[in-house]
Amino acid sequence: MRILLTGATGFFGSHLLEALLTQSYDVVILKRSFSDTWRINHLLADVESYDVDHVSLETPFRENKINVVIHTATDYGRNDDAASKIVDTNLLFPLRLLELSSLFKADVFLNTDTFFNTDTLCYKYLNNYALSKKHFAEWLKSFCECEKIRGINLRIEHMYGPRDHQNKFVNWLLKQLLKNVEQIPLTRGEQMRDFIYVSDVVSAYLLLIMHQDRLPFFSQFEVGTGRAVSIRDFVLKMKEAVSRASGKDITTRLDFGALPYRLGEPMECKADIAGLTEIGWEPKVPIDKGIEELIREELQQNLICH
């Protein structure tokens, strides 16, 4: 089976690529010529790679028989990106990819969606990222309803793990605690979130690839643990775990309540994982173990760098 993967140089995509190669899949990746490949440098010799800013998007389909397409590339708009750039990355690019997947008769298209697009969140249309992701999910469903290709839409909850972007909350928090900064301003931390470790998300993708033939032309899954913990409890767990792992007393003051909640802040997010458990999936990494693994990887990386 040959798999085409976008976003392989990113946080989740790099973990997924590693797992796909471990499972002996033949993987083709799409990237840009200027992409930072630090997460996957050790894997590049084992994949076929295309720079989409240098070749037509059609080229990898013409030169390879693609069975499965997995789209993980995304633009969060963190750097005040123009709306048109976000739309191009999150809507127009995967739509072109979907059209080619159908034209060249790929079996299945797996799309990486966000929990922001669940109907219970009141502000899912209030930022360009969520809106662009929502629109593509609707296009995917439309293609699948016409039976042009089988599609799987995966709505990921609060995924965390090593090699994530340093501006993301969990990894930023870890960096601050390892530096033992004087204080960290936080909200009151009452928000309930479903934190899921990256390896559990990867295992969901691997299982869905294996069982794609059992699924309808369009299916949608929420990917999380099915359990929520408060931001406050998560932060406290992180601080305690950093103290244990580093062997020093972390004196950072956690200033809960120093920051206001964001406008429209959802107070509880939790995945409904019944669809995944029905086909035999379950999360394996409890939150304490996930935090410990993240810290261990970060400390190991710091040793290598120094």
The set of catalytic residues is 129
CA distance 190 to 34: 41
Residue 303 CA from chain centroid, whole number: 26
- List CB contacts of 95: < 8 A, sequence separation 6 or more: 136, 139
CA distances 158 to 113, 141, 146, 290, Å, are 12, 24, 32, 12
Which residue is listed with tokens 């992409």? 35
- List CB contacts of 74: < 8 A, sequence separation 6 or more: 7, 10, 89, 90, 112, 129, 133
User: Of the candidates 89, 95, 68, which has an alpha carbon nearest to the alpha carbon of residue 7?
Assistant: 89
Q: Residue 229 burial by CB count (10 A; 0-12/13-18/19+): exposed, middle or buried?
A: middle
CA distance 29 to 48: 6
Q: Which amino acid is at 12?
A: F
